[in-house]
Structure formats: structure tokens, C-alpha cells
Amino acid sequence: MTDAPAPLADPHLVYDPVAGDGPKDVAILGSTGSIGTQAIDLVLRNPDRFRVTALSANGGRVALLAEQAHRLRVRTVAVAREDVVPELREALSARYGAGEPLPEILAGPDAATQAAASDCHTVLNGITGSIGLAPTLAALEAGRTLALANKESLIVGGPLVKALAKPGQIIPVDSEHAALFQALAAGTRADVRKLVVTASGGPFRGRTRQELAAVTVEDALAHPTWAMGPVITINSATLVNKGLEVIEAHLLYDIPFDRIEVVVHPQSYVHSMVEFTDGSTLAQATPPDMRGPIAIGLGWPERVPDAAPVFDWSKASTWEFFPLDNEAFPSVNLARHVGELAGTAPAVFNAANEECVEAFRTGALPFLGIIDTVTRVVEEHGTPAAGTSLTVPDVLEAETWARARARELTARTASAEARA
């Protein structure tokens, strides 16, 4: 293991682009989403540690974005939807006093990318989906510390991210990868035998494939332990999210796929574990709350006091672990396969899944049709070019093809069901 490439995320290395006293300047991408709103809560409770300089959002929650901008007194607000700029400007004007300067407004598909390259110490990328790739690359190229909650950008553009990232520049924010990050601080890379990624099992844990055939969107959105956005929640129900996390763990820590295990832990207390060569296993555990991982991403190498809830160890509790049912939930093994293929295969996997999740949400595809369709798209894509030669146009082209093919297959499924 000692001759393996250096990992992207290493708790022993600290990248500090702007050393100095005072609060750390932070840009929050995806500020109106689940990660963004929790990050802002953390910042507001720790004004001596963090200062938000820029916010970005898609534009679906303009009033909330304006409220955040005013409360945080940011310099820049970025919004992907240009059509909401008049509404955003009006909402900002209503909150700021007469004669008080409004923040700069960036608008359009590249707005988040511009915010990611703005003058700050740390960029928290909390955008959902592969549209987070360009902001991830922009933050790295600009020399910012990247607190990465947007796993898709790493998965679809792994070689591109690795080519830009400096040692210690990426701090993972996914709860599983923040857990691995912390546990890995206890030893050297040569000491690591295995990474163990935990999965809640989602709302359908214990069901057979046959029993999953008739589940509804409402069923899939009823996650037993985590409150997340709809796409991530459905990905958790199919366990695609866990497959993506296996690829992410491989890319972050340069551990081979055959040494990354997934176990089901319904309580979601243990967020992941590292097994060392001496037989020791270190588990990182907190009640299920994303503010802890966000605090690691923003504050590392320092910890933020009282960032998240703690256990009451005086109360009895039961922590369970079960093997993953790969027959009912084949998405993790499929993710391992596309991870091994590398190149554009992960981008195809992710893009096809995003299309299929949307089709499921609108009633155009049954639950089992999500992973079945993704599998077929991946198979049709075949073996991609070597990952080392990957370019941004390669990723975009592969995604475009995968989305179009997934829509074609979804339409066929809907037509066949209509005729049945």
C-alpha cells in the first residue's frame, strides 16, 4: 500500500490557502438545500469561526436565498436561473435598508462556478448532482479548500479532480466519508486493511426484490433515520447512494474496491469504520445529524464545539449490523463494476440514475425500473476509454448520451405498461 498514489483526502495533511486570524471566509454552494441550510445554522452559531462571503442556489427558493444573504451579509449571491433575478433583486431590496448596498448578483448556469472561484478560504459544495463538477474544479483551480458534499462531481470527474487537487485540499462532508476521514487519522495508510461503509438500508430494508415491485414514491421518500432532499432520499431507497459512496471512498482514499465493504446499520449511529491490520476497528459514531460532518469540512483540523448532538450514554440502546442483500439491491455491485471500468462509466451510471429517479418521481417508471434501466444503459455504454485521458467534454458527452438513452428506455417501459 505504501507505493499507492497519495489519497485525495488525508487527515494527516492540512491545506491552508489563507492563513491568518479571524473568522474563516466560506462560500456555500447549494445554500437553500439540506446541506446548505444546516451549514448556515452552524455558521450563525459560530460567528467567531466562520464568515460567509458568497451563496449560490438554483433559484427555486428565492425568498429563502434573499433571507440568507441578508442575515449573513454576503458579498455575492449566485443563482442558476436567470429568470428569477428580478424577483431576487426585489426580495433583497425588501430586506436591506435604504441606501444599503445590495450584494453582487451572479446569474446563469456558470454562476455557481464563479462563486466557487471567488475570494474565500473554503468552498462548501452542497449542490446535488453532476452539475457540481464545474464548481468543484473551479474551487480547486482557484486554490480554495474544498469541503465536498457533492459526491457526484468526484464520481463523474475523478481523474479531473485528482489532477487539480493538492494534498489536503479536499475535506469530505458526506457522513460516511467524514467518518472514514476521522478514523483514518488513527493510523498510516499502510496500517489500513479495509474500509467499512455503513448503510441504513433505507425504508425497504429486509424486503425481497419481489416485495419492492409495487412501492410508491411516498414509500421511497419515507427514510427512517435521515432528512434529505428527494433525489438523495430515493437514491438511499435503491442503495444507489451507497454505490456512489463506494466509488467515492475508492477515489478519496485510494483503497481498492475489494477492500471496501458495505454493511447495513439501521440505527445510522456508526457512520463508517476503518479496520486496521492489527485487528482493531475504529468506528466514528454520532446521532444521525449532518452538522457534524459539515463542521469537519469547514473547520478541519480544528473541531467545532457542540456542532451536533451527542449520545446519552446513560440510556440503553441497541446497535445492529447486517449483511447487504445484493439480490434485492444490486446497485452497490453495479457501482463497483463501473468504478472498476473508470473513464466515463461512472458518469454514465450517475446520469442514467438521475434521469430514472426523476422518471420514478413523475410516475413514468416503477421503483425496480430505476436500477434495471441504469444497468442496461451501463451495459450498452460498454468499456470506456482509459480514465487517465478523461476530459470535461468526455464527461459531458457521456452524460448526454446516458440521459437520452435512459429517457428512451423509460418511454418504452411506460408504453409497454400502458399496453398491458
DSSP 191-229: GEEEEEEEE--GGGTT--TGGGTT--HHHHT--SS----
**How far from the centroid of its chain's Cα atoms is residue 168's Cα?**
18
- The Cβ of residue 417 has, within 10 Å, a number of other Cβ atoms equal to 12
Residues annotated as binding site for NADPH? 32-35, 150, 152, 229
Residues annotated as binding site for Mn(2+)? 174, 176, 245
All residues at 6 or more sequence positions from 138 whose CB lies less than 8 Å from its CB, including other chains: 113, 114, 116, 117
Under a CB-based contact definition with an 8 Å cutoff, are residues 365 and 357 in contact? no
Name the one residue in this structure whose C-alpha cell is 459526491. 151
Task: Please give the Cα distance from 314 to 293 (Å, whole number).
Answer: 24
Residues annotated as binding site for 1-deoxy-D-xylulose 5-phosphate? 151, 175-176, 200, 223, 236, 241-242, 245
- The pLDDT tens digits of the residues spanning 153-186 come to 999 999 999 999 999 999 999 999 999 999 999 9
For the chain, 420 residues long, give each residue's pLDDT as a single digit of tens: 334 567 999 999 999 887 667 899 999 999 999 999 999 999 999 999 999 999 999 999 999 999 999 999 999 999 999 999 999 999 999 999 888 899 999 999 999 999 999 999 999 999 988 999 999 999 999 999 999 999 999 999 999 999 999 999 999 999 999 999 999 999 999 999 999 999 998 889 999 999 999 999 999 998 877 777 788 889 999 999 999 999 999 999 999 999 999 999 999 999 999 999 999 999 999 999 999 999 999 999 999 999 999 999 999 999 999 999 999 999 999 999 999 999 999 999 999 999 999 999 999 999 999 999 999 999 999 876 544 578 999 999 999 999 999 999 999 876 666 555
315: helix, strand or coil: coil
Correct CATH for 199-282+326-419 of 1.10.1740.10, 1.10.1050.10, 2.60.120.330, 1.25.50.20: 1.10.1740.10
| pLDDT for the residue numbered 2 | 38
Nearest partner of 43 among 63, 15, 21, 73, judged by Cα = 73
**Can you point out the beta strands (E) in 75-126?**
76-79, 104-107, 122-125
- The pLDDT tens digits of the residues spanning 216-244 come to 999 999 887 777 778 888 999 999 999 99
Residue 57: phi, psi to the nearest 5? -155, 165
Task: Please give the Cα distance from 417 to 409 (Å, whole number).
Answer: 12
Name the one residue in this structure whose C-alpha cell is 398491458. 420
Burial call 80-97: b when 16+ CB within 10 Å, e when fewer: bbeebbebbeebbeeebe
| pLDDT for the residue numbered 418 | 56
| pLDDT for the residue numbered 414 | 67
Between the CA of residue 176 and those of 71, 79, 262, 268, 357, what are the distances in Å? 31, 29, 11, 10, 22
- The Cβ of residue 400 has, within 10 Å, a number of other Cβ atoms equal to 12
Under a CB-based contact definition with an 8 Å cutoff, are residues 259 and 272 in contact? no
Nearest partner of 148 among 164, 120, 163, 128, judged by Cα = 128
Residues annotated as binding site? 32-35, 150-152, 174-176, 200, 223, 229, 236, 241-242, 245
**Can you point out the beta strands (E) in 7-160?**
24-29, 50-57, 76-79, 104-107, 122-125, 145-148
Polymer length of the chain: 420
